[in-house]
Structure 1
């Protein structure tokens, strides 16, 4: 469910890269040379029931300059409309699994829907790990007001917990210490929503590329390689919340090299 986008200066997101490296990977940039990082949520339905993994950036449709953080602009606002196109209204969402407490993942869980004083998903429980909630005041953009808006609906989830039929929490510490991914099983197929283990398909080809601010860059790289091997070897579908217009895909491998193959 698209909500918005962050336009990034490529070398600001990946500070160890060079202009020459991006010249060889220009297919991941737009015509202006920006790296587009999408924001939104993954809708999962089970009969009449529905849940979301992540809740976008929120009701901020006007691009905001974020150059002090190395970004070009950041905006959101279309998640509720995206749900409506599939015949879903916010009050029908019973669970929002928040992978981690960064503002482009928790948006509508803390901000009101148009014409309402309460957060858009006021009827839902908010699932997140104990460590993520414990560290809430240390995370990007989480003010006391946002934490207070989330608090009444927070429910703690542990690695391996089933939070919804066929949905299992998977601990993916690295980007944040309490980051959770979610494995979705339907019949013989599986999908892994891998949160911010990767921010762009370019990291499938270059899993050692660490983003700015990763305190454990080496451990994050190991986690990326481990996850890519799992996706490739098991044939699991991957879901990258930040992968712009190719969020669903499979990973092919040739030795230690990986390729993201988007699903049509």
Structure 2
């Protein structure tokens, strides 16, 4: 809609944003995922389950009980440090999933319009090393894949890296590492972070919390400022239907039992608090507050505003 378009721009809508104390968290949209994503990703979330969870409609499911999902990332500036949480699917990547294959989105333009031009990003947090969370790590240049964020440190949990380094991967996943992870490592930009049970701070008011199960080293990202708090889920919670039914697991969870325990732990810690939950694949409105509903939970949406871009020039070349 024109009301969401940045002045002077005809292509890049303004980024939806939420305030957390002094922090402003921007959602950088990549693409809506096709309707068949829900039945594949969360096979237990059938139309009957959705019908028993009426608060999902109309935002999070349609009238036929089909889940809505999206690919986006989050950008936040903390005391002058520009942080991007996950990097989506990426453009022009050869992928087995048809919805991700050779994508051509305007993500980079949206990121720049939000005031986070790639060369100005300082930190990239990779919640886990799955294809749809690392794609914009790199971009094509001269027949090669090069880091999209050349001045950033890319952070992922050491447990996550060690797991993938020690397992036999199918060719599609090896391809993803070749085009979206190894070029970052080879450029010396990848940092492995030890994440203890209590979490670890990576910047003032930015903390990585262990959220294993979907992958062994997955993290959630906690933002805090002036007594306010938000939590970015990663894939510990793929969709709000999992608040109503925390036992629902993804078809790609490496340890479904651990993923379920992690989800229960996170939701129990958030229920009834003022903490904002930001879903890494939740469709608009994307964020909300967790409330108890019987033996489960529900999400009370928190509508975003639209923040003014915070522009910063790239650092001079060495």
Partner of 2:132: 104
Where do 1:1-264 residues align within 5 Å? 1-9=28-36, 10-24=38-52, 27=57, 28-30=60-62, 34-60=66-92, 66=97, 73-74=99-100, 75=103, 77-112=105-140, 118-136=146-164, 138=169, 141=173, 142-151=176-185, 152-159=188-195, 160-264=199-303
2: CA distance between counterparts of 1:103 and 1:128? 14
Aligned residues of 2:69 and 2:282 also touching (Cα < 8 A): yes
What do the CA deviations read for 1:80-122 (whole angstroms, capped 9, x no partner)? 22222222211111000000011111111122489x9732112
Work out the number of aligned pairs and report it.
258
In 2: Cα distance, 1:4 partner to 1:200 partner: 16
Q: TM-score, normalised by structure 2?
A: 0.72
Matched residue SS, 2:277 = strand
Maintained 8 Å contact 1:167/1:185: yes
Deviation digits for residues 37-69 of structure 1, max 9, x if unmatched? 2122111112433111111111249xx8836xx
207-216 or 25-34: bigger deviation: 25-34
CA distance in 2, matches of 1:243, 1:91: 27
Alpha-carbon shift at residue 144 of structure 1 (Å): 2.8
Give a deviation string over 1:204-235, Cα, whole Å, max 9, x none.
Answer: 11111111132322222221111111111432
Change (3 A) 1:244 1:17: closer
Q: Which structure has the larger Rg over C-alpha atoms?
A: 2
Larger relative CO (CA 8 A, sep 6+): 1 or 2? 2
8 Å Cα contact 1:56/1:76 also seen in 2: no
Mark the runs of 5 or more structure 1 residues left unpaired by the alignment.
68-72
Name the structure where helix makes up a greater proportion of residues.
Answer: 1
State the secondary structure of the residue aligned to 1:226.
helix
Give the Cα–Cα distance (whole angstroms) in 1 for the partners of residues 254 and 116 of structure 2: 39
- 1:37 and 1:95, CA in 2 relative to 1: closer, same or farther beyond 3 A? same
Q: Cα distance, 1:22 vs. partner?
A: 4.2
Kept in 1: contact 2:137–2:180 (CA 8 A): no
Q: Note if contact 2:136-2:180 (Cα within 8 Å) is conserved in structure 1.
A: no
**Structure 2 residue ranges without an equivalent (≥5):** 1-27, 304-318
* Alignment match, 2:309: none
Is the Cα–Cα contact under 8 Å of residues 51 and 65 in structure 2 kept in the other structure?
A: no
Deviation at 1:166, TM superposition (A): 1.1
Instruction: Give me the whole-angstrom Cα distance separating, in 2, the residues matched to 1:113 and 1:80.
Output: 15
